Amino acid sequence: MIDLQSELERRFGFPSFRPGQREAVEQVLAGRHTMVVMPTGSGKSLCYQLPALIDTCEKRPGPTLVVSPLIALMKDQVDALMTRQNARATCINSSLTFGELQSRIDALRDHQYRLVYVAPERFRSQAFVSALQSVSLFVVDEAHCISEWGHDFRPDYLNLRKAIERCGNPPVLALTATATRRVQDDIVRQLGLDHPFRVVTGFNRPNLSFEVAYTPDVESKLALLHRFVTQENSEDARGLIYVGTRRDAEEIAAFVKSSCERKADFYHGGMGGEARQKAHESFMCEKVKIFVATKAFGMGIDKPDIRFVLHYSIPDSVESYYQEAGRAGRDGHPSRCVLLYSPEDRALQEYFIERSELGERELESLFQTIVKFASDSKARVSSLLLEQELDRDGIAIRVGISELEKVRALTRGEDQQDAMTFTLHAQRLTAGHLRQGSGNMRRRMEERRAKLRGIIRYAEGNACRRQFILHYFGDSASPVAIEQCCDNCESRHQTRTVVMLEPIDHAVLQGVAGLRFPLGREKLIGMLRGSKAKWIAEWDLSKHPLYGCLPFHSAATVEERLRFLLRKDLLKTVGGRKPTLQLTPAGEVLAREPVDLASLRTPPASQPPPRRPVTSRSKWRSGETSASLLETLRLFREGKKTPAIAKERQFSVNTIADHLAELVALGKIDVNELVRPELQELILQAIGQRGLTSLRSLKDSLPEKVSYPQIRAVVNAWKLDHPEVAEAASSDVAKTFLATPHPRELAGPWDEGFALDFTGSFQGREYRRSEIGEAVYQLKYQGQEEQAKIIADRMAAFLETHPAFAHVAALIPVPPTIRGRRCDPVATIVAAVSQVTDVPCIPLLYRQVARQPQKSLQTLAAKTENARGAFAVTDPENARGQRLLLVDDFYDSGATLAECTRVLRACSPKFIGVLTAGKTVHHA
């Protein structure tokens, strides 16, 4: 009989199992199929790692095979197992060289591993499958990926049922954190599991608090982000910020570094493998505190002390949100999950949904493209080429191929290097094939739209957010929280007086409360002012109790009060392209208070009536004091100092200092109890000189003896007396950042590279060009040559301030793709820069082979191939030993600039720099 408790302590050092772990381990050791549904961060990996390390599987001496789509997680877990457990573990995925791959497969065949992590597409390899002579346990991690009704369907998972059979039908352990009951049942069916034992521990994470902030535009998002990072979190707080686009990943990381003065890095799918690995390690090794990423960052990030996860824009589903938010607080300490919500953001997700599936015509094009490369019913074709031909990303292509397999039009074989192989069973698709395949895709698309509507309901609703999540996943447990539950619950239990309301404000709140259907700003103002417009009669609004209650207030006055109520979180904006107004939970409470309609319908006196104080939560913190803060307060009242409280509570000194500063903000502790008057005076002087842009800015201007906790306490006390000024400070920081160009570092084979700025940005679906993007557009496509001077001045200013570019010997224009233009934009820009800087323009490069424009190609591989061999050097001696600066109008894929750099390198220059006017923007 195995003593599991002893094994747990000996191998992992844990004093006890977490909920569900023991049951799962017992079932695995008993050789039974098992499905485990546990929240993110609850220790699912231990359910197979402990049985594998116990090593008692005499009947099945083979390894534990772990199927996972997460290459980064594979590496992290293998490294941890080999370091801490001295375990024989490895991973087999696409990141390996051919030689290393063969070496590991040979070792697998020789039973040298106890744990093998493998990507799902590896089962298409006959060499790999043949090495799996026996498997002790077949683990399917992120098992929801096998379900078409899950939030992250991956077609390669559909091959796992056959893979299990090929491995001799070993026991199967399926693991997921975000599967509804419907998806759980589909996982069981797709894997062919006969009555598996189910371990479902519930979805509640009691140490997490949930908040949604309504942010109508980029400026308000950045202002809230600044306030959150600099004023609501300590300097050492680690956090993840999820964004929807690659541009946002880079821009928000730059904002956090420059405006919030925190160490930050970014991660997105457009980065090279080496750059992604470096960024990932910088966060895991704590070189940076804040990490900004798209969903390409993957799922299982095993870092226990992430104190907050902030979503800069709305994700595609409740499942995605909860999985990503669940990376906070894995150590069990209180952590925050914040969503910045703009109704415009839903358009971005709708765009992604539309691009994720193929229609009938595209499905037929996909099949015919594969047929085009076939010989004797066999085809070999690059996935990148298919992406280029259909203008769709890899996921949509793989889903389309999966549908073609389902209708038996083809069978996908083993991948060969960078190409997929197929056996064709038909030369044309029948109407039935197309209807079935495209019908499946339409159903999946509607399912994804339904999931998007789910996360929008979460963001816009007034109910308990924790309860919403639990109900969504079919969990009937009570929404228990350690400290704060969610912003909606907190706003119903307010204790701080922070704003003053006028009678007009109560009229607006009651006006919204009494509506049978929501209205936008303009129509609400019209209804309250007694508009006689046709829509008033059509919608029967003249019968509303507050109709015409503000006849003597201008539309501008009512609009100003609406903005005030939105700022104070008493109203919120919801909806998509036609947003409407809705009460927040706090607004619902205040809307019940009586309003004197007679006074509102009377011409106002010269002196406005006094405002009434009302309670309202702060933007991020409730006035209600949490149990943890109260415990710190109790010990403080007993006369204990910060180090003693930290030791007794087993918290860091910084955490207790944060508690005390927050208790000042809540009015529970007087700042005089923490900071001597003379130090307060110094800090207040610094606030007067520097403002509230960041604590670090204040610290830099103060004597060394003044600590961050002291600064934070005084700042919090000051904000109690100046709430509007505190909000304005963050708003000013956001405005300044948006008004300032931000050069973008460009990765490539050159020595250093930069773009002056992004060419534009997406607001939902709408693309808006930046100042530099507009200048290049007008020059390149409208022939406005005067724009070259604007671009040249910006480039010259950049060259003056960037040391590596300060002493370049020559400006090298990238030759044009299209010859015969009246105005060559790059040559025109370089000539203007040369005139401003006195650095000579030398056309060292010329185009020796005509190629199609890069913008007509969709993939990096296609663009790289298109650029290869296209350029040559006119006079190599002019480049030898020189510091050269390659100049182009746009940086898109970098393929053209990389080829130009390769050609110039052959001439042995001392330095090659790259400078472009703009960096193009892509949705994903």
10-28 pLDDT, tens digit per residue, is 888 899 999 999 999 999 9
Tokens for 489, please give them.
């619950």
Residue 455 near residue 339, CB atoms below 8 Å: no
Q: How confident is the model at residue 539 (pLDDT cuts 50, 70, 90)?
A: very high
Q: How confident is the model at residue 30 (pLDDT cuts 50, 70, 90)?
A: very high
DSSP secondary structure code for residue 818 in this structure: S
- Residue 623: what pLDDT? 36
Half-sphere exposure of 333 (CA within 13 A, CB side): 15
Q: How confident is the model at residue 464 (pLDDT cuts 50, 70, 90)?
A: very high
Summarised one tens digit per residue, pLDDT across range 879-889 is 999 999 999 99
Rounded average pLDDT over 161-190? 92
Q: Rounded to 10 degrees, what is the CA torsion of 416, 419, 423, 425?
A: 170
Q: Which of 27-36, 417-426, 446-455 has the lowest mean pLDDT?
A: 417-426
Summarised one tens digit per residue, pLDDT across range 197-236 is 999 998 999 999 999 998 878 888 999 999 899 877 777 7
- Residue 55: what pLDDT? 62
- Residue 693: what pLDDT? 60
In the numeric block, the tokens 């300044």 are attached to: 736
Residue 738 near residue 732, CB atoms below 8 Å: no
3-state SS, residue 811 = strand
Tokens for 378, please give them.
């066999």
Q: How confident is the model at residue 172 (pLDDT cuts 50, 70, 90)?
A: very high
Closest alpha carbon to 770 in 741, 735, 797: 741
- Residue 509: what pLDDT? 94
3-state SS, residue 828 = helix
Rounded average pLDDT over 58-67? 76
Rounded average pLDDT over 270-279? 78
Per-residue pLDDT for 567 more than 90?
no
Summarised one tens digit per residue, pLDDT across range 81-98 is 887 777 888 988 777 777
Distance CA 121, CA 101 (A): 14
Summarised one tens digit per residue, pLDDT across range 376-402 is 899 998 877 888 778 777 778 888 998
Q: How many CB atoms sit inside 10 A of residue 209's CB?
A: 28
Distance CA 139, CA 115 (A): 10
Distance CA 397, CA 366 (A): 8
Residue 384 near residue 859, CB atoms below 8 Å: yes
Summarised one tens digit per residue, pLDDT across range 154-163 is 888 988 999 9
Residue 306 near residue 335, CB atoms below 8 Å: yes
Rounded average pLDDT over 300-326? 89
Q: Rounded to 10 degrees, what is the CA torsion of 342, 343, 346, 351?
A: -100
Mean pLDDT of the chain: 85
Per-residue pLDDT for 616 more than 60?
no
Which residues in 312-409 belong to E strands, given as ranges?
A: 335-341, 374-375, 378-382
Q: Which of 147-161, 231-245, 592-606 has the lowest mean pLDDT?
A: 592-606
Distance CA 138, CA 48 (A): 9
Per-residue pLDDT for 822 more than 80?
no
Rounded average pLDDT over 534-557? 91
Q: Which of 560-569, 606-615, 673-682, 910-919 has the lowest mean pLDDT?
A: 606-615
Rounded average pLDDT over 529-556? 91
Burial 28-59 (b: 16+ CB within 10 A, else e): bbeeebbbbbbbbbbbbbbbbbbbbbbeebee
Residues whose CB falls within 8 Å of the CB of residue 252, separated by 6 or more in sequence, listed in order: 225, 241, 243, 266, 292, 312
- Residue 247: what pLDDT? 87
Q: Which domains does the chain carry?
A: 4-200 (3.40.50.300), 208-342+461-472 (3.40.50.300), 352-449 (1.10.10.10), 497-615 (1.10.10.10), 627-739 (no CATH), 744-919 (3.40.50.2020)
Burial 4-19 (b: 16+ CB within 10 A, else e): beeebeebeeeeebbe
Residues whose CB falls within 8 Å of the CB of residue 73, separated by 6 or more in sequence, listed in order: 298, 299, 300, 301, 302
For residue 837, which amino acid is it? T
Q: For the whole model, what pTM was predicted?
A: 0.78
Tokens for 126, please give them.
């006959």
Per-residue pLDDT for 614 more than 60?
no
